[in-house]
């Protein structure tokens, strides 16, 4: 489409049960009470000139361009700050108003560079537009005297420039940083002529607290804040609406292009998940799609010791089909399998699981979601009957108490974190349960009511202690429990036991009993209570138990089935939810239906024209074990670096080395490709046509900005392999795949590309009963009928500190990087995070003679690696922390093979380690001597 210009109504929409009627330039308009005159006029199709006003920000009234005349009123008030009153009569165009506006504009232009023809914002500048609207033809004051035209640029930020000579002091950037992002990194310094925007007192943007979300750039009405890509490439001339391929928030973007060249990504105001906001990754870190490291041609080799040979598609796909067919026929159909990716579309994931079940003839399909959120699927399915979160992101705006546990939203899910911060600044209370003091504990205008700094691995003990308080202090919602839950008597007997009291568990959890009691009381009595959690919950040996424990707490307090409550997993990768929905597990077909259910198998057998194996297949760890034994011989890996992301790396490498045929489909030659026999180039999100499903079950369209640079869509590659193996997929387009998904999966019954193109997005279940989707789950009843309260016995992890390994290592993310960094490390995001570091408490560092900035060796019972130390009191004594974005640093090489009892999700968050200062002679070789490759959290 041509460049999409979204309507700006000037001020935010208001909601009210009362409406008022006003007359504007002879047009009668009915609007909710509290609506500004400017917005009412815009809704009537009447445009009032403006500069400081935009509908993403609260009205400010500083530019004085939007003056109007109100019958019976005094003066000429600003329309942005004037609310409509019933019966009001407004004139937006009079000779007096025209003269006033021209005078105001004349003052702006007198201190502004007259370089419109060479300005990168030419054609996209509101100052330029408004000068024309008000009819400015000359500037009587001239351009001599004091001005700001010689102000120097700040080019420190890798993605945008700050040119103060073009600033009109409208404060839109400052307000965007405050109201939209919530970082408050910008401020207006000085008064009058000396007013200027400064990045929080820092010398430049790069060294400031600015998080480069782009909100200020988007809000700027001139070229004061300008994307470097626009300066380099020119203004875009067409738009493609698509979805971000980073975290599970699933932000909608306008990909703005000049021809086939992507110029910038602009957050889409109508995006259901982000509503016009973005983070540094989605907004700016798209350059990896054109990085020189990207592989665009298929490659094969006979042995992993040989060099790669570039071949055409027919040769590569024929080789894959030949090798897999030979293994299937000679060893047995259970000897091959596939792994799906949470970075690819629903359609691409569905294609892989169909290939495994139809062409390979088994259920040996698993997904990278296993190593991150598989306990979510199990735990929520057991208690609620669905394997997904309960709310829409916007629901948080109705929450009164937020329990954030095992998640760091400001780094891992920053756009949703901005929503949270807005609600917290409006008065909601916050409880943070995390071994580390994350930024949400204390940040500008936000302070948690409780930071429960528990010991790693004690999540279940904590949630049991909180539930114990709720039950024994009679804080339950008994009406909700009696009407909508089962298993109540057994659970109440379990949780009421003294062994679950905060006092008994205090030594285990590491949090004072009275602090736990106070937090439990707040959650139970503070109004709408919402739980948000991440990998700090799931990546434990009791991950599934903990998910059930949080569901229990929500049911005990009646915090399910309405706005502002719920149990909400924050998914890591863009399509973790979708990859699980699409049947990527060896025991489940799409829609979380067991492979052993004959009526479900019949649906696919009739459609696919084949017989499906009724027995569950191998999980990823089982595939590795079988490969080492010699009974599993071939593996297709879609968009996942298992040699880098799975635990017990020595075992993984041994398994991959033992395979007769390993096929890797990805953008880059990753660690897993070292063991591959065939490499198939993948497509970036900018070339994909399909859908992603985010953490709130929102199905978003992904549209290509250009044809696949590799020559084939990923689903086509999979379909052709299956066809060569004798199984016809029968698709001509990705929309055909979604049609098949809808025809076979009840929760997707109403979904199609056409429907999504019409309505924007939907949240499953989407069917005849809910054609626009289901924002809030379990409103009148649970998917399983009644919610089931599950006893959640705390079982300590086997991984404990010892005299040899006295510290506990836990891991997490940082804002600028993503997952193993394959994408973000190939962008300018590395300006903020060039290496992973080990955060260690000053007390622990002093005991070991470690100073900040020195290289240290981290050892566990399975391996060792080295990182630079950073002294930090964010963790308690005895706990160390690192991120895992840089493979060269081997950040998680020391993680063990311990995993969740129900799902085999690895226990990345608890590893007993020792940390020691490295000798000076080795300090310069930080990338040498790793005893194993990196193991990282899967999403």
pLDDT at 931: 38
pLDDT at 370: 77
Residue 206, Cβ density class (10 Å: 0-12 exposed, 13-18 middle, ≥19 buried): middle
Pairing mode, if any, of strands 690-693 and 698-702? antiparallel
Facing residues of 914 across strands? 859
Residue 521, Cβ density class (10 Å: 0-12 exposed, 13-18 middle, ≥19 buried): middle
pLDDT at 372: 77
Pairing mode, if any, of strands 196-198 and 864-871? unpaired
pLDDT at 884: 83
pLDDT at 566 over 70: yes
pLDDT at 405: 96
Of 194 and 922, the structure prediction assigns the larger pLDDT to 194
- Percent of the chain predicted with pLDDT > 70: 97
pLDDT at 926: 41
pLDDT at 741 over 70: yes
pLDDT at 791: 97
Distance CA 402, CA 87 (A): 42
pLDDT digit string (tens) for 722-739? 999 999 999 999 999 999
Distance CA 59, CA 79 (A): 9
Q: Worst-scoring range by mean pLDDT, 310-314, 599-603, 857-861, 921-925?
A: 921-925
Does residue 136 contact residue 109 with C-beta atoms inside 8 Å?
A: yes
pLDDT at 313: 98
Alpha-carbon distances of 429 from 227, 441, 733, rounded to whole Å = 37, 11, 48
326 contacts: CB under 8 Å, gap ≥ 6: none
Q: Worst-scoring range by mean pLDDT, 38-47, 97-106, 285-294, 643-652?
A: 643-652
pLDDT at 890: 66
Which pair of tokens denotes residue 247? 């975290």
Segments in 496-609 forming alpha helices (H)? 502-509, 513-525, 535-538, 543-556, 576-581, 598-608
Which pair of tokens denotes residue 267? 């957050």
pLDDT digit string (tens) for 626-665? 999 999 999 999 998 888 777 777 788 999 999 999 999 9
Facing residues of 763 across strands? 698
pLDDT at 307: 96
Which pair of tokens denotes residue 157? 């930020």
Distance CA 139, CA 647 (A): 69
pLDDT band with cut points at 50, 70 and 90 for residue 925: very low
Name the CA dihedral angle for 250, 577, 404, 486, rounded to a multiple of 10 degrees. Answer: 140
With vertex at residue 534, the alpha carbon angle to CA 531 and CA 537, rounded to the nearest 5 degrees, is 90
pLDDT digit string (tens) for 320-346? 999 999 999 999 999 999 999 999 999
The DSSP symbol for 601 reads H
pLDDT at 929 over 70: no
pLDDT at 645: 77
Does residue 916 contact residue 856 with C-beta atoms inside 8 Å?
A: yes
Could you tell me how far CA 268 lies from the centroid of its own chain? 16
The 19-24 sheet, strands edge to edge? 27-32, 19-24, 89-91, 69-70
pLDDT at 31: 97
Global pTM? Answer: 0.94
Average pLDDT for residues 180-208, to the nearest whole number?
92
The DSSP symbol for 784 reads T
Q: Which residues of 425-455 are buried (b: 16+ CB within 10 A; e: fewer)?
A: eeebbbbbbbbbbbbbbebeebebbbbbbbb
pLDDT at 935: 36
Of 379 and 821, the structure prediction assigns the larger pLDDT to 379
Segments in 16-125 forming alpha helices (H)? 37-43, 95-110
Average pLDDT for residues 115-121, to the nearest whole number?
91
In this structure, the number of other CB atoms found within 10 A of the CB of residue 711 comes to 15
Alpha-carbon distances of 505 from 347, 377, 461, 500, 607, rounded to whole Å = 47, 28, 7, 7, 54
pLDDT at 56: 96
How long is the chain? Answer: 939
Q: Considering only CA atoms, which of 661, 678, 674 is closest in space to residue 627?
A: 661
Facing residues of 839 across strands? 870, 881
pLDDT digit string (tens) for 767-818? 999 999 999 999 999 999 999 999 999 999 998 899 999 999 999 989 998 8
pLDDT at 928: 38
Does residue 862 contact residue 506 with C-beta atoms inside 8 Å?
A: no
Q: Considering only CA atoms, which of 412, 410, 415, 418 is closest in space to residue 440?
A: 410
Q: Considering only CA atoms, which of 574, 564, 243 is closest in space to residue 419?
A: 564
Average pLDDT, the chain: 93
pLDDT digit string (tens) for 368-422? 887 778 888 899 999 999 989 999 999 999 999 999 999 999 999 999 999 999 9
Q: Considering only CA atoms, which of 816, 916, 906 is closest in space to residue 860?
A: 916
pLDDT digit string (tens) for 675-708? 999 999 999 999 999 999 999 999 999 999 999 9
Which pair of tokens denotes residue 826? 């190939």
Does residue 454 contact residue 436 with C-beta atoms inside 8 Å?
A: no
């Amino acid at each position: 489409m041509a460049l999409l210009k979204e309507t700006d109504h000037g001020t935010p929409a208001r909601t009210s049960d009362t409406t008022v009627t006003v007359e504007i330039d002879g047009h009668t308009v009915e609007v909710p009470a509290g609506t500004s005159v400017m917005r009412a006029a815009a809704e009537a199709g009447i445009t009032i000139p403006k500069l400081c006003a935009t509908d993403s920000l609260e009205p400010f009234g500083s530019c004085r361009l939007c003056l109007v005349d109100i019958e019976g009123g005094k003066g000429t008030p600003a329309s942005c700050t004037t609310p409509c009153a019933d019966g009001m009569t407004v004139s937006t165009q009079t000779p007096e108003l025209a003269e006033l506006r021209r005078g105001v504009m004349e003052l702006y232009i007198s201190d502004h560079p007259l370089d419109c023809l060479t300005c990168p914002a030419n054609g996209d500048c509101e100052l330029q537009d408004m000068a024309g609207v008000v009819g400015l033809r000359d500037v009587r004051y001239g351009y001599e005297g004091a001005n700001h035209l010689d102000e120097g640029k700040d080019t420190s930020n890798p993605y945008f420039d700050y040119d103060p000579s073009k600033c009109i002091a409208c404060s839109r950037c400052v307000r965007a940083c405050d109201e939209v992002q919530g970082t408050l990194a910008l401020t207006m310094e000085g008064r009058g002529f000396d007013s200027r925007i400064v990045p929080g007192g820092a010398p430049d943007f790069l060294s400031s607290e600015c998080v480069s979300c782009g909100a200020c750039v988007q809000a700027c009405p001139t070229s004061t804040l300008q994307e470097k890509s626009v300066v380099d490439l020119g203004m875009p001339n067409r738009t493609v609406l698509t979805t971000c391929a980073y975290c599970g928030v699933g932000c909608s973007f306008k990909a703005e292009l000049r021809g086939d060249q992507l110029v910038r990504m602009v957050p889409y105001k109508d995006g259901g998940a982000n509503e016009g906001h973005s983070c540094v990754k989605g907004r700016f870190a798209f350059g990896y799609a054109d990085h020189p490291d990207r592989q665009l041609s298929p490659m094969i080799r006979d042995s992993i010791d040989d060099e790669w040979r570039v071949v055409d598609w027919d040769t590569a796909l024929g080789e894959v089909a030949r090798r897999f067919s030979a293994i299937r026929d000679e060893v047995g159909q259970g000897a091959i399998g596939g792994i799906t990716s949470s970075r690819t579309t629903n359609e691409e994931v569905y294609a892989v699981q169909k290939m495994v079940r139809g062409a390979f003839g088994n259920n040996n399909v698993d997904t990278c979601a296993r190593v991150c959120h598989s306990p979510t699927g199990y735990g929520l399915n057991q208690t609620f009957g669905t394997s997904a979160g309960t709310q829409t992101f916007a629901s948080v705006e109705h929450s009164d108490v937020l329990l954030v546990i095992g998640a760091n939203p400001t780094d891992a899910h920053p756009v949703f974190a901005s929503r949270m911060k807005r609600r917290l600044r409006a008065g909601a209370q916050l409880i943070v349960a995390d071994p580390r003091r994350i930024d949400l504990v204390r940040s500008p205008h936000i302070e948690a009511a409780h930071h429960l700094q528990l010991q790693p691995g004690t999540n279940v003990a904590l949630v049991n202690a909180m539930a114990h308080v709720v039950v024994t202090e009679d804080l339950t919602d008994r009406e909700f429990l009696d009407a909508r839950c089962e298993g109540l008597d057994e659970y109440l007997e379990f949780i009421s036991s003294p062994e679950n009291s905060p006092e008994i568990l205090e030594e285990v959890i590491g949090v004072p009993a009275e602090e736990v009691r106070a937090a439990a009381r707040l959650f139970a009595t503070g109004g709408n209570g919402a739980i948000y959690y991440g990998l700090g919950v799931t990546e434990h040996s009791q991950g599934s138990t903990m998910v059930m424990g949080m569901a229990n707490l929500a049911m005990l307090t009646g915090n399910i089935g309405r706005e502002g409550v719920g149990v909400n997993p924050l998914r890591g990768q863009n399509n973790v939810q979708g990859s699980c929905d699409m049947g990527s597990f060896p025991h489940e077909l799409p829609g979380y239906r067991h492979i052993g259910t004959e009526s479900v198998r019949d649906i696919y057998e009739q459609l696919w024209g084949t017989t499906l194996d009724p027995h569950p297949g191998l999980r990823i760890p089982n595939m590795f074990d079988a490969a080492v034994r010699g009974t599993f011989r071939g593996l297709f890996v879609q968009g996942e670096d298992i040699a880098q992301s799975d635990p017990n790396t020595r075992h993984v490498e041994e398994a991959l080395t033992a395979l007769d045929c390993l096929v890797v489909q990805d953008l880059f030659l990753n660690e897993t490709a070292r063991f591959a026999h065939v490499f198939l180039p993948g497509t970036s999100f900018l070339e994909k046509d399909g859908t992603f499903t985010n953490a709130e079950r929102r199905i978003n369209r992904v549209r290509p900005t250009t044809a696949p640079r590799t020559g084939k869509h990923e689903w086509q590659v999979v379909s052709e392999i299956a066809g060569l193996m004798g199984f016809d997929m029968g698709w001509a387009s990705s929309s055909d795949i979604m049609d098949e998904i809808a025809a076979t999966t009840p929760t997707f019954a109403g979904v199609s590309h056409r429907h999504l193109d019409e309505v924007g997005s939907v949240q499953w279940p989407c069917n005849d009963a809910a054609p626009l989707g289901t924002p809030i789950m379990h409103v009148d009843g649970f998917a399983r009928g009644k919610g089931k309260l599950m006893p959640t016995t705390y079982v300590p992890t086997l991984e404990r500190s010892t005299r040899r390994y006295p510290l506990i290592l836990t891991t997490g993310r940082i804002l600028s990087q993503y997952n193993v960094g394959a994408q973000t490390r190939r962008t300018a995001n590395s300006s903020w995070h060039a290496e992973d570091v080990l955060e260690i408490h000053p007390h622990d560092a002093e005991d070991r003679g470690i100073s900040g900035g020195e290289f240290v060796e981290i050892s566990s019972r399975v391996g060792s690696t080295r990182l630079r130390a950073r002294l930090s009191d964010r963790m308690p004594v005895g706990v160390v922390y690192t991120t895992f974005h840089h493979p060269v640093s081997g950040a998680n090489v020391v993680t063990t093979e311990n995993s969740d009892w129900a799902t085999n999700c690895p226990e990345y968050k608890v590893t007993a380690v020792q940390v020691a200062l490295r000798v000076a002679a080795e300090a310069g070789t930080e990338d040498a001597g790793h005893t194993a490759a990196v193991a990282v959290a899967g999403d």
